[in-house]
Amino acid sequence: MRDWSDLWLNEGFASYYVYHLLQEEHPRLTENEYYTRLGHLVRKQSSHDCPALVRPLLTEIEVEQSFHTTHLYTKGCVMVRMIRDLVSDFDFRSGVRRYLRKNAYRSVSRDELWASLPAYADHGAEHERLSEVMEGWLVNEGVPEVTIIRNYDNDMIRVTQRQSKNHRHRVFLHSNQNDESRRRVRRRTQDTQPFDDELFNDLPLEYVQRMKKKKHSTRVKKKQRPPTVRPSPDILIEARREELRKTRRVRDPSDVWSIPFSYMFGSLKSSEGQVVRQFWLKNRSLSFADVELAPSQPLLANPDWAYPYRVNYDMKNWKMIARLLHQSHLEIPTKSRMQLMIDAETFLSQSNLPHLYIYILGYLAHESDLGVALVGMDAIHRLVDAFQGSTINNSLRLYLSPVIAQIDKLMDESQADTELSALWLIEPTRLSKLYQLRCAANIASCDQDAQTKRWLEFPSSYLEDVHKQVTAVCHFLFTNNSEKETHMLESQLKSRGSQWSTAVQLAACTRSDRLVKLAAKQIVATKNAAIFASSLQSDFSLHYNPKFRSALWTQIGKMPLDEKRLLFSVNESDPQPASKILLHSVKSIDELRQVRSLVPDWGPRMSKHFEYIEQQLQWQDKVTRGVLTDFFSNDDTI
């Protein structure tokens, strides 16, 4: 590479070819790992931390930080795969061989890559120059978010794009705005709110048809390149320096991409069959009519999760997709079901209609593909954890218990296939998440009675998977108040032996006033913020234990004021990660009030975190008393 900004040419291709080589020996494992990483990428790049793949790296620390698992290796791999899909596998292989042969022993930039690959990307009826298409994907921050709004009265469809930002879809962050503020927000985001059908009022069909007939502008003829120097290991130092001094044209970053957009509708089982449309989305928005798409048919964009952009729909289309998942989920491609799980979490889970997201997750009770089920399990774990302290938590776990039972069944079935069972290890926390979920849902495989009996017999050693046994014991302690188990746990806490850290986690599950106070006192005595946070964000339980939490915050409140200020980074302009994690462990309004009273003045930075958590918990309380209660009491349908 010629400079650090093109680091992806090394690392992206290396990551891609690792997947490519493993695909031949372990196709299911490799494919599922790729889509798991792709899910991480789109979520991470939709947050505030969303650097462009190609950007200036001017200092040593910037170069060092650029070697990021998601932002460099995964995104680079995804971009290389996108290039392959746009030019065909055969032309991609030929182009890469040509690229390596022509540029051996040279410093290169991406210009040399484009010169070796086919000039045009193949997608739909139009051909776009590959280098121009990919430049936006390389230099723009984040990933694109495509919003599709249908007018069900006149067959019009409007497709818009913008940079994906998770916070836009957290309704509690905007609930206090007045009407004028909301209008300003809509104007700033180019009217891409997903449920406003009035957007079509100014787009008559004749106008759309006239626009479609417009001819494309004449392409500028490419100037002939000077003859290239034959690759040689003996290239002079002066020639290398001359290459490094070459000026390069770099496109300015923006929030518009050239997106190879596609959508499908219909069914292979019907007489009309399944229809797929493909075209380029190059502008901020595009409107058109599709008379073949019936108002009763759901539209599915980006079939097979072909390209790394996110997709949001108007609410009616979301509902039709949700019903299709419940009625005939195999009509939707496997990879699209994965993308739906991830996009629905972003666009629906913290909206005014979170029950629609829960309803979508409910279809997983019939899902037989382990890869899709694991993506869904990750989402379910985050959802149950988020609603830990709400009054709707029991109803939520009851509704999702058939899904958890199905995932548990798939786990048992996967043990007969080595490659399939390896899917559980793509993410190291997935097994522990399943253990927590099946105990939280009180499924028989939690096996809490037998596991607790083993723990009582061998308290200083665990006979099998630690997470499995401790999670089961934790569930037993939360649901039972047996003196024998309480006495055993108390002795482990007092001994401060090798099992102390596990005993603290178990104490966080018990309802015994004496034990929770003892555990809280010992935890605070460590003066270790990581231990404070780990006891609140347990690796072994999804149960919400208000007794333990109240005891822990009360004990923290007894610390000297200076130590509390230091613990919560009150006076720091950039609060420590441990301080933010500790504060964001709060799960209920009552708990937040107790934490707020610990320090008289939280400072401007941490006060912002308080404001965010308070808005989130108030929203949870509102939807719990409203749409979620209605959903769980009305046969769990939409």
In 3D space, the residue among 483, 425, 420 whose CA is nearest the CA of residue 456 turns out to be 483
- As a whole number, mean pLDDT of residues 101-128 equals 93
Helix (H) or strand (E) holding 276: strand 274-281
Say which residue, 194 or 81, is predicted with more confidence.
Answer: 81
* CA angle centred on 154, ends 149 and 159, rounded to 5°: 25
Instruction: Give the DSSP letter string of 144-195.
Output: EEEEEEEETTTTEEEEEEEE--GGGG-GGGTTT--HHHHHHHHHHTTT--TT
Average pLDDT on 482-496 reads: 88
Is the pLDDT score of 375 beyond 70?
A: yes
189: number of Cβ within 10 Å: 14
**Domain limits, the chain:** 4-118, 441-633
Give the mean pLDDT of the chain.
89
Answer for the pair 552, 524: CB distance below 8 angstroms, yes or no: yes
Q: How far is CA 206 from CA 202, 212, 295, 323, in A?
A: 11, 10, 20, 34
What would the pLDDT profile of 175-196 be if each residue is shown by its tens digit?
655 444 444 434 443 443 443 4
Take residue 325 and report the two structure tokens written for it: 């998942």
Determine contact, residues 278/290, Cβ cutoff 8 Å.
no
Do 148 and 314 touch, CB atoms closer than 8 A?
A: yes
> What confidence tens digit (pLDDT) does each residue in 197-226 have?
343 444 444 444 544 444 343 333 444 444
| Beta bridge partners of residue 128, listed in sequence order | 121
How many angstroms separate the Cα of 374 from the Cα of each of 203, 370, 417, 479, 539?
A: 43, 6, 16, 27, 18
The string of pLDDT tens digits covering residues 529-555 is 999 999 999 989 999 999 999 999 999
d(CA 145, CA 308): 9
| Average pLDDT, integer, range 416-437 | 95
Any bridge partners for residue 565, and if so which?
none
Tens-place pLDDT, residues 498-517: 789 899 999 999 999 999 99
Three-class secondary structure of residue 127 per DSSP? strand
| Tokens 């302290």 found at | 389
The CATH fold assigned to 4-118 is: Neutral Protease; domain 2 (1.10.390)
pLDDT of amino acid 197: 39
Question: What are the residues whose beta carbons fall under 8 Å from the beta carbon of 158, sequence distance 6 or more?
Answer: 148, 149, 150, 151, 199, 200, 203, 285, 286, 287
pLDDT for the residue numbered 289: 97
Please give the DSSP secondary-structure letter assigned to residue 232. -
